Amino acid sequence: MTIREARPEDWEAIWPFFRRIVAAGETYAYDRDMSEPEGRRMWMVGPPGRTVVAIDGAGSVAGSANMYANRGGPGAHVASASFMVDPDRAGQGVGRALGEHVIDWAGESGFRAIQFNAVVETNEAAVALWRSLGFEVLASVPEAFDHPRHGYVGLLIMHRFV
């Protein structure tokens, strides 16, 4: 697994699994019928943020992450990030490789911490991955996510210093 900067032309490979994940409505508080241009605008963030892709041994895009300051001004020393792994590549370490990359980036970029604002509590694989990478749950915002199968579930705020 190689992580590299996303190029504009990578969006063509990201969009199919991005659309699938967003349309499923189980892990992201994004409009489930988000258009392709809106998805591109949201995901392919420009500097000082970054978007990266995870490339498998065959040269295919297996996942993507973006990263940015979570807030401005006096809050700009805390980073945040979002992750999308092709569901067909689940369990192959793609999310972990992207997560480790983001932690390294945050440290090298001078951020003091990373905060995830909205991890769906029923997304057990993600919660377990972030815990294993040193993130703690600060709070669950009760009933903040309307899950298509589980109903109203909590959104976790997760955090680690870097």
Give the binding site for a second copy (CB under 8 A). Answer: 22, 25, 28-32, 34, 70-78, 112-113, 115, 117-118, 138-148, 152, 155, 157, 159
Q: Is 39 left (phi over 0), alpha (psi -120 to 50) or beta?
A: alpha
The total of other beta-carbon atoms located within 10 Å of residue 22's CB is: 22
Nearer to a second copy, 57 or 73 (CB): 73
Closest by Cα among 72, 8, 73 to 44: 8
DSSP classification of residue 131: H
**Burial letters 25-42, b for 16+ CB under 10 A, else e:** bbbbebeeebeeeebbee
Shortest reach from residue 20's CB to a second copy, in Å: 14
Nearer to a second copy, 6 or 155 (CB): 155
Shortest reach from residue 112's CB to a second copy, in Å: 7
Shortest reach from residue 32's CB to a second copy, in Å: 5
Closest by Cα among 116, 101, 135 to 70: 116
Nearer to a second copy, 26 or 56 (CB): 26
Nearer to a second copy, 1 or 113 (CB): 113
Shortest reach from residue 134's CB to a second copy, in Å: 14
